[in-house]
Each structure stands twice: as C-alpha cells, then as structure tokens.
Amino acid sequence: MKSVRVPTILCIPALLTAAPLHAQDIAKRPVRAPSEILRATRAEEWRSLDPANTLYVDLPGGQVIIELAPDFAPRHVENIRALARGGYFDGGAVHRVQDNFVAQWAPRRLSDGEEWPAHIRRGIDAEIDVDSEGLPFTPLPDPDTYAPEVGLVAGFPAARDPQSGRAWLVHCYGSVGAARGVDPGSGNGSELVVNIGQRGRPLDRNATIVGQVRSGMEHLSTLPRGNGPLGFHEDPPPQTTLERVRLGTDVPEAERARFQILRTDSESFRAFIIAIRSYTDDFFTYSANRLGVCDAVVPTRPTDAG
Amino acid sequence: MKSVRVPTILCIPALLTAAPLHAQDIAKRPVRAPSEILRATRAEEWRSLDPANTLYVDLPGGQVIIELAPDFAPRHVENIRALARGGYFDGGAVHRVQDNFVAQWAPRRLSDGEEWPAHIRRGIDAEIDVDSEGLPFTPLPDPDTYAPEVGLVAGFPAARDPQSGRAWLVHCYGSVGAARGVDPGSGNGSELVVNIGQRGRPLDRNATIVGQVRSGMEHLSTLPRGNGPLGFHEDPPPQTTLERVRLGTDVPEAERARFQILRTDSESFRAFIIAIRSYTDDFFTYSANRLGVCDAVVPTRPTDAG
C-alpha cells in the first residue's frame, strides 16, 4: 500500500453550492439543491456591475474589482470616483497588511508644488447608517452576534435595527472601508481598507463601508503582512504598488468585469439562501440549519452564462 | 499642502487590547482597560504549551506552531503525534489553498516498497463532540448564529448544547482540522486543514478539529491560492513543501515556543473578555457591546514577560 487511506478532500463544494443539513433533517432535503436553483434563475434576476460604481484596482499580482455602495456612502463614493478619475491612486501603495484583519492602501504622494484640486474633499463625516425604509433588504432568519437583524441589501452584507429604523453595511470578508483617524470626519476615501480576515464585525457602525470586493480578493489576501505594529509596513517598506486604479466608466467595455451577480432581492436568491442553509451534499452529517451574514455568499456567473 | 488629510490608521489597537463601546455607554467605560487587566495578571494564570501537544511546522516562509487538542480528538492527536515522530509529514506538501477558506497539507509519499507502520491508524471515526460535564468552559454572553452557547475551553473556541450536554470545538481563523472524505471515518490526521479565512462555522460538528494555530498563521494565509477547483493545486503544482514537522517533545528546549497563553478559565481572562466586549479607545464611537466567539482572541505574552 502506497499511502495512508488519505482523505483527499475536505469536500465542501465551495459552500456556495452546498451547506450543512441538520442530522434530524437528513431525510427532508429541500426539493431543489442550491445548484439547481441557480440553473433555474431568470435572466432578469442577474445584474452586471454599474461601471459608475465599479473600481478596477490593478496590483502587480492581478486585478481586484470593487463594487461601490453609493446608497450607503454617497459622499465617500463621490470622492473615490474623483480620486480614481484624477489618477491619484495610481502609484500609491498598499502600506498596511495585518493578518486576519485588513489590507490598506494610500494614494500617491503629490509632487513638489502640486496641490489637491478643489473638487477632492479633504475630510468627510463618517457615513455610518441610513434610513432602512424602502431598502431592498433580504433578511436572514438566524440570530447574529452583533446586530438585531442581518441580511443582504443590493448584494452587500447589512444589518438593520427595527427600533431605530436604521440600516448599515457590516464588515465581512471583502468589505471595503474608508480609513480614518480618531476624528470620525477625518476619512475621505483616499485610503481604503479591505477586510482580508475573519475579524471585522466590531468595526460595524464605526467605519464607513464604501463597497465590497467582487473579484480578485486573493491578490490582497496573499500580500506579505506588514512588519510593523498593526501590520503597517516599516522601512524598508516591502509595499505593493497600486499600478492603476480606474473607475469602470474609464475602462474600455471589452476589459470590464465578465461576470454577473444574482440580485439579492430576487426570488431565486431567497430560495438559494434557504437552500444553502439546510441543504448538503454527502459530506455533511450534521447541520445547524443556520447561516451567518458573512457566510451568505452572493452567487456570480460568467456574463456569457446568461 | 502635500497630501489629502489622510487618515493614517484605521486605528484599532489590534482589537486584542481594545474593542467597541456602545454609544450610550461612552461615559461608563470599565474601570480597567484590557491592557491594564493583562498587566495585572498573576503568573499562574499563564501557561506554556505542553510539548506533547504542540506541533512545529516548518514551511519555507517560516514556522507555524499548532496546539493540539487531545481532550477533544484524542485518537486523531495520537495519530498525528505518531506521524510527526515518524517523519511522515516531512517533505509533504500544502496541496490545497482555497481563498477565504482553508490551507491543507498531505504527508510525504511513501517510497517504493515502503509500508505504513502498524501503529499509524488508517482511518479514525470523526471525533465531533464530548461530554460537556466538567469541562473548563468559559461562556461568552452573546448570541451565536450557529450554536446554542459559545465560549472558550482550554484556549480553544468552542460551543456547547445544554440540552444534549455535548460540547465541541468550532471553526474559527486558525482552527486545525483533520481532512476526511465523504465517510466520516476516513480521516486520520495525515492531512490537516487550517482555516485561513472567514468561512468555517458551517463545518462545525462535521469535521474533527484537532487543534489551533498559536503562531505563524501568516505563513499559511499568504500562500498562493490553488489554481484548481476548491483551491487544489493542479499540474504543474506550485505547492509549498512541508520542510519539517516535529512534535514539541522532539524540539530542543531552546527552540520551543517563547510565548505563554492566558488560561481561559482564569479570572483575568473572564475580566478581559468583559472588558474587550465593552471597552474602547478613542477611535470607536459606537459599540454593540457584543463579542463573537471567533473575535474572542486569547492573549499571549513572551515567556520572559512573566
């Protein structure tokens, strides 16, 4: 015999298409598997990224595509658009990478004598929450540690408080936030932080979330961790350069994202969530029949799949 | 002016020493800050790793130190000890790295004619849960999405069910599991999987957790993601070699871990948890006054700090 009887896989078909099932429920699998639900979606349940709300970030290792969230952080997003269009991120650097927490980048340094143009805001009050009334909020049925209710809004992991009537985006893997100092009005979207680990939720309602990475997370999550406190890169700085950061409207159509996102207010997404919450493949012998907001992955498909 | 008024930090002093504070509670900060609690600990509240339960994994990028959990997975841990002592991991490879999920490695291939010795078990029934009676379980006060109650047991994130009287380890960042196939008895600790992302909790009670990474996570979390399905490395395989894997008892004392871990059943740890749940530094303007089981970081300190 050549090998120990090796378990070749921890065979979770991507959690996206299969999730646990409660022991006592093994006999009552949902009629439709998550993969079947996705195959049966209608064309109008999928959306492409809006170029005006998409940031293409070119790193040496590859491209990161971010969907911006102007409905939650309109003034930060407006500034980010202006910074990108003005080329102020190009040549900037990822100067902080803290394991299990964040990767953070800064814009390029201005040249001698150069000034920031007037249309770029210097400081913007934190944009923490919005009126939940009328939002396309798809709630998740299970308890959350940090918020009274969690769910998805327009593809973004979110929470809301029925008592106050407020809703906010929450920090999950891939959340993009605006860095700030102690003054909640000191951020402006020029330094962005992306959650590359598990920790993040304690930041909810303290930091402005401006968007969510839709592809290319591995180009950020694999970056060398910073050698200084809080993961900041110290001298000599082995920082990663932001080669080019463009707003989608400045990206030739042929080079734009070639995937679509399942609308989280669609009937199919609601069915998908219920299915991944309780469905399983043969690997699972137990399910809590629960689904956390950061585990509620939003399905994507190649644009030509439609 | 040379720069936009840049928020230089998203200034969370490591979440380990500071966490959010509820808006309405800003005036009633706990008397003692988390850092103050740690400074006031007694020597006997700290412990060193038991060499018989510690795995030193040398990767090209650096060393990963894993604390094994024989109280939860005694038979897997026994096999892992035998595999390490027999040198069966040396020259193995990290053959799967799936972004936001796991890094997984396999033992070396046997040579022609070589057989696995009899004392290495081929398949071990999954070790999923244990009797919760008498466990040093330090509960967390907040709701959890996946389990009736969560907390820490001997430094490991865990859950328990008062109804069934069972307790189990849960999948957080750094959890080390035994890979298996569809048959729950097909794992044996020869392939280990480490959680390198946010997803994991749906695996609870399905996969055997054998331990927790205590240092060096960045040497796993930054590895190149696999180019095949589920993050498996396909040909040509850019796999990372396991240079050497040793049980602590085989590591010269001078080369063993130089840190101590705060006992999670200590008075100081209980005070620390309550403090990080509600304490904050000046950065925070809001706190949910909640703490998730995977955010309840267990403090460590250099051995010579005592």
pLDDT of residue B237: 66
**Residue of A25, A88, A100 to mutate, interface with B, max B Cβ within 10 Å:** A100
Cβ contact A193–B122 (<8 Å):
no
pLDDT at A44 over 70: yes
**pLDDT tens digits for B201-225?**
999 999 999 999 999 999 999 999 9
Residue B107 pLDDT > 50, yes or no?
Answer: yes
Please classify residue A86 by burial: count the beta carbons closer than 10 Å to its beta carbon, then call 0-12 exposed, 13-18 middle and 19+ buried: middle
* Residue A177 β-bridge partners: A193, A209
Q: Please say if the pLDDT value at position B264 is more than 60.
A: yes
Strand A175-178 relative to strand A46-47, pairing: unpaired
Query: In the predicted model, what is the mean pLDDT of residues A269-288?
Result: 86
Distance CA A98, CA A119 (A): 32
User: 10 Å Cβ neighbour count for A162?
Assistant: 9
Q: Which residues of B touch A286 (CB under 8 A)?
A: 128, 204-206
For the stretch A101-115, pLDDT in tens is 999 999 999 899 998
Complex prediction ipTM = 0.89
Closest by Cβ to A122, choosing from B4, B178, B224: B4
Choose between A8 and B257: higher pLDDT. Answer: B257
Portion of chain B with pLDDT greater than 90, in percent: 77
CB-nearest to B9 from A14, A181, A184 is: A181
A126-147, pLDDT tens digit by residue?
999 999 999 999 999 999 999 9
Overall average pLDDT of the B272-291 stretch: 86
B22 vs A281, which has greater pLDDT? Answer: A281
Cβ contact, residue pair B11, A221, below 8 Å:
no
A188 with B5: Cβ contact below 8 A: yes
Sign of the C-alpha dihedral computed for residues A99, A104, A105 and A106 taken in this order: negative
Q: Which pLDDT score is estimated for A236?
A: 66
Query: What residues of chain B lie within 8 A of the CB of A292, using their CB?
Result: 145-146, 201
Which residue in B5, B101, B120 is closest to A122 by CB distance? B5
Helix (H) / strand (E) containing B37: helix B34-39
Q: Identify the band that residue A31 occupies on the pLDDT scale cut at 50, 70 and 90.
A: low
Residue A187 has pLDDT above 70, yes or no: yes
Q: pLDDT tens across B44-67, in order?
A: 999 999 999 999 999 999 999 999
What are the pLDDT digits (tens) for B286-304?
A: 888 999 999 999 999 999 8
Mean pLDDT, rounded, for B159-168: 97
Per-residue confidence (pLDDT) for residue B236, from 0 to 100: 66
Kindly list the distances between the CA atom of residue A137 and the CA atoms of A153, A200, A201, A264, in Å, as whole numbers in the listed order: 5, 21, 19, 8
Binary contact (A197, B197; C-beta < 8 A): yes
> What mean pLDDT is reported for chain A?
89
